[in-house]
């Protein structure tokens, strides 16, 4: 135990500490490509009603639907007023929170182009070009191709500056029971690799909070006799 000297400055710094996320937060896009679709306009115009039951089941398995207006957790920079839809899909563990931006449930698509990781569900029966969705993001793209019933092909695209990640890699075929968890784990790993490539380092919120706590203690330690 380290006694601290009470002061207004100490209270302000503690308030700042409280605003630092305790868990890692990640947002990523989920995009449906329907039969015969090629263009960005076609793909981003899809609504939930245009999608297959397999896609809907997959998205539900990535996380839990939460109400944007009332949910108190991380919502991936979405608005709560309905302009970004009524719900989002959310996943959390003790050290991470993930929001999936399902393009088919969002009236506006501005968040899709701003996500580093894109999960592409491709039912078009042709190759999905990584540059299809315009913007400077989509640094990692995990493409899922339905094959035989219950089997799915995987392709993984990433920029040259992004180091390899897994557990999924291009060319794999996975079953429906492991698909959501494996895709989610791969997308999280890919996001971390992008962060490392862009910012040269990755500092977990736990470590960041500990650093702030240490600096507060150093500045405000009470003198003992």
**What are the residue boundaries of the structural domains of the chain, listed by start?**
25-199
Alpha helices, DSSP H, located in the chain: 8-18, 40-44, 53-62, 179-199, 205-220
Say what the pLDDT of residue 219 is.
Answer: 80
Pairing of strands 151-158, 64-67: unpaired
- Alpha carbon 222 to its chain's center: 42
More reliable by pLDDT, 204 or 164: 164
Whether 69 and 80 have beta carbons less than 8 Å apart is answered as yes
3-state secondary structure of 188: helix
Per-residue burial over 72-106, b if 16 or more Cβ lie within 10 Å, else e, is eebbbebeeeeebbebbbbbeeeeebbbbbbbbbb
More reliable by pLDDT, 205 or 82: 82
Angle between the N-to-C axes of helices 8-18 and 205-220, in degrees from 0 to 180, rounded to the nearest 10: 180
Whether 92 and 21 have beta carbons less than 8 Å apart is answered as no
Alpha helices, DSSP H, located in 31-153: 40-44, 53-62
Model's pTM, two decimal places? 0.85
Residue 161 has pLDDT above 70, yes or no: yes
Of 159, 128, 131, 133, nearest to 144 by C-alpha is 128
Side-by-side strand order, sheet with 140-146: 64-67, 87-93, 96-102, 24-33, 117-122, 140-146, 151-158, 173-175
Tell me how crowded residue 179 is: count the other CB atoms within 10 A of its CB. 21
Q: Give the tens place of pLDDT for each residue, 36-62.
A: 999 999 999 999 999 999 999 999 999
Say what the pLDDT of residue 76 is.
Answer: 95
Say what the pLDDT of residue 212 is.
Answer: 62
Q: Based on the number of CB atoms within 10 Å of its own CB, is 23 exposed (0-12), middle (13-18) or buried (19 or more)?
A: middle
Contacts of 175 (CB under 8 A, 6+ apart): 150, 151, 152
Q: Give the tens place of pLDDT for each residue, 107-123.
A: 988 899 899 999 999 99
Fold of 25-199: Rossmann fold (3.40.50)
Average pLDDT over all residues of the chain:
90
Of 46, 20, 37, 58, nearest to 109 by C-alpha is 46
């Amino acid at each position: 135990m380290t006694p601290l000297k009470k002061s207004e400055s100490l209270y302000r710094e503690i308030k700042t500490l409280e605003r630092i996320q305790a868990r890692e937060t990640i947002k990523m896009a989920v995009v449906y490509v329907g039969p015969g679709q090629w263009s960005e306009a076609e793909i981003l115009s899809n609504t939930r009603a245009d999608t297959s039951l397999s896609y809907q089941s997959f998205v539900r398995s990535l996380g839990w639907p939460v109400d944007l207006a009332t949910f108190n957790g991380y919502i991936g920079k979405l608005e709560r007023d309905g302009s970004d839809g009524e719900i989002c899909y959310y996943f959390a563990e003790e050290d991470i929170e993930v929001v999936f931006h399902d393009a088919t449930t969002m009236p506006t698509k501005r968040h899709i182009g701003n996500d580093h990781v894109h999960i592409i569900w491709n039912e078009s029966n042709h190759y999905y070009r990584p540059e299809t969705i315009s913007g400077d993001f989509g640094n990692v793209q995990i493409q899922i191709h339905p094959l035989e019933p219950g089997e799915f092909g995987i392709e993984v695209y990433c920029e040259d500056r992004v180091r390899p990640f897994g557990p999924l890699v291009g060319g794999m075929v996975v079953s429906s029971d492991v698909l959501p968890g494996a895709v989610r784990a791969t997308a999280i790993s890919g996001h971390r690799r992008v962060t490392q490539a862009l910012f040269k380092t990755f500092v977990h919120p736990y470590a960041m909070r500990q650093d702030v706590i240490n600096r507060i203690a150093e500045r405000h330690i009470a003198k003992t006799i």
